[in-house]
Amino acid sequence: MTSFLRACGLSELEEDTPKRVELDGTPVSVVMTEGEVFAINDICSHANVSLSEGEVEDCQIECWLHGSAFDLRTGKPSGLPATRPVPVYPVKIEGDDVLVSLTQES
């Protein structure tokens, strides 16, 4: 059975503004965009920097350091220099709670 942890309140999220949280020692970026909430590992697969400091556009989060963008649905990079995906996690909303499972979707 998949277990979910409370990441934050839905009311704490701003459209296209990543929110960094730590769940059981795992850094996660929670993003509300295009009417959905996504959770993606907060560490860029190319350089060990926080993705939540980057910008969100077209359901992608961009690493602020070198410009690689990662799809919030799949974790796959859309271009160089990153070549490896980052983990994405299942999300469910219960009331105002954003719940995230650290079981990877990809």
Q: Per-residue pLDDT tens for 36-81?
A: 999 999 999 998 899 999 999 999 999 989 889 999 999 999 988 9
Residues 6+ away with beta carbon under 8 Å from 1: none
Q: What is the pTM of this model?
A: 0.92
Q: Could you tell me the sign of the dihedral formed by the alpha carbons of 22, 51, 80, 77, in that order?
A: positive
* Calpha distance 105→55 (Å, rounded): 22
The architecture that CATH gives domain 4-101 is 3-layer Sandwich (2.102)
| Pairing state between β 36-41 and 26-33 | antiparallel
